[in-house]
């Protein structure tokens, strides 16, 4: 699969279904308009599925319905066709208007990710503002028990309860994209937190698998799986994972695989892979 644009790699990529109206004009003067659905969104881009074939570099006009007669608009450009399936063509797009916040999602700086035990797309229960949240040990334990965390909302300017944010669309399969030029996060002493939360493993060419984590650290996870992933295999993981929510998949590499014959399962250890951060 083609490398995604720099814009798509400047933040976490959220697996999120969201309807978007797209209009464009070809060099020959033909105009098109259709409602598409996102597969991935990031701070400055996304992956959209079209039924029409597009050219690399094609400029697009995107708009999202907010409420009543309010719409949010932005301009974008097709970066590359990254895949196609029975339902259409998958294109990586780059948003041309910097800091337009088209998705209404706050993305933290990637350098903060090294301190995260887990990632979730969450929303404030008061204002519904969505944000990619990096969970620490206390927040992860709270989420494991209560399915929510208490944190400060900068939009409300007050403490609030945050819950997982649901996709606006339904039931589309992920495209399995992953960034290239990856490198493993350097190993160092890391505190491992025991937490029985669900994770989703995504591997290109295979069905997604929901697994149970045994423990997590800032450098990786340990999980049990029905499938065996050979050592060195690169996959993507979303943890914690709840079906139907906006999952955040990040790349990991399997560092060990051990069969558990009595349970018919395999125990795996995996290290997060750190993509280069564009400045």
Cβ-based neighbours of 254, under 8 Å, separated by 6 or more: 229, 230, 231, 232, 233, 234, 235, 268, 269, 270
Query: Which element (helix H / strand E) includes 133?
Result: strand 130-135
pLDDT at 9 over 80: no
Cβ atoms 153, 133 nearer than 8 A: no
Ordered domains of the chain (ranges, CATH): 7-95 (2.40.10.220), 105-164 (no CATH), 183-274 (2.40.10.220)
What mean pLDDT is predicted for residues 224-242?
92
Instruction: Write the pLDDT tens digit of every residue in 169-186.
Output: 543 333 333 332 333 333
Instruction: Write the pLDDT tens digit of every residue in 181-222.
Output: 333 333 334 567 777 788 999 998 889 999 988 888 888 899
Q: What is the DSSP string of 85-126?
A: ETTEEEEEEEESSTT--TT-EE---GGGGGG-SEEEEEEETT
The C-alpha atoms of residue 170 and residue 89 are separated, in whole angstroms, by: 18
Q: What is the pLDDT of residue 78?
A: 96
Confidence band of 276 (pLDDT split at 50, 70, 90): low
Calculate the CA dihedral of residues 63, 65, 69, 70 and round it to 10 degrees: -70
Give percent above pLDDT 90 in the chain: 43
Q: What is the pLDDT of residue 230?
A: 92
The C-alpha atoms of residue 47 and residue 246 are separated, in whole angstroms, by: 14
Instruction: Write the pLDDT tens digit of every residue in 118-164.
Output: 889 999 887 888 999 999 888 888 888 888 888 888 887 888 888 88
Task: Enumerate the H helices of 127-218 as residue ranges.
Answer: 137-146
What mean pLDDT is predicted for residues 89-108?
90
Q: What is the pLDDT of residue 268?
A: 94
Q: What is the pLDDT of residue 219?
A: 86
Confidence band of 59 (pLDDT split at 50, 70, 90): very high
Instruction: Write the pLDDT tens digit of every residue in 60-96.
Output: 999 998 888 889 999 999 999 999 888 899 999 999 9
Q: What is the pLDDT of residue 178?
A: 31
Q: What is the mean pLDDT of the chain?
A: 83
Q: What is the pLDDT of residue 208?
A: 93
Q: What is the pLDDT of residue 72?
A: 92
More confident residue, 83 or 168: 83
Q: What is the pLDDT of residue 113?
A: 77
* Eight-class DSSP state of 245: B
């Amino acid at each position: 699969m083609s490398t995604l644009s720099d814009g798509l790699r400047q933040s976490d990529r959220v697996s999120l279904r969201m309807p978007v109206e797209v209009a464009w004009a070809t060099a020959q003067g033909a105009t098109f308009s259709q409602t598409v659905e996102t597969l991935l969104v990031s701070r400055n881009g996304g992956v959209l599925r079209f039924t029409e074939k597009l050219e690399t570099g094609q400029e697009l006009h995107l708009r999202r319905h907010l409420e009543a007669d309010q719409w949010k608009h932005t301009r974008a450009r097709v970066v590359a066709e990254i895949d196609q399936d029975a339902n259409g063509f998958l294109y990586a797009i780059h948003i041309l208007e910097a800091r337009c916040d088209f998705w209404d999602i706050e993305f933290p700086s990637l350098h903060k990710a090294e301190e995260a035990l887990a990632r979730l797309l969450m929303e404030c229960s008061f204002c519904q503002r969505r944000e990619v949240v990096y969970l620490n040990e206390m927040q992860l334990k709270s989420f494991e028990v209560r399915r929510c965390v208490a944190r400060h909302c900068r939009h409300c300017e007050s403490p609030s309860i945050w819950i997982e944010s649901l996709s606006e669309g339904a039931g589309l399969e992920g495209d399995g994209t992953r960034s290239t030029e990856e490198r493993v996060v350097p190993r160092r002493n890391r505190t491992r937190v025991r937490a029985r939360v669900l994770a989703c493993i995504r591997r290109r060419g295979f069905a997604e698998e929901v697994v149970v984590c045994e423990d997590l650290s800032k450098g990786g996870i340990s999980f049990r799986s029905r499938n065996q992933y050979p050592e060195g295999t690169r996959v993507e993981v979303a943890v914690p994972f709840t079906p139907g929510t906006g999952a955040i998949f990040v790349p990991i590499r399997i560092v060990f695989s051990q069969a558990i014959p009595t349970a018919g399962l395999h125990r795996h250890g995996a290290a997060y892979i750190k993509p280069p951060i564009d400045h």
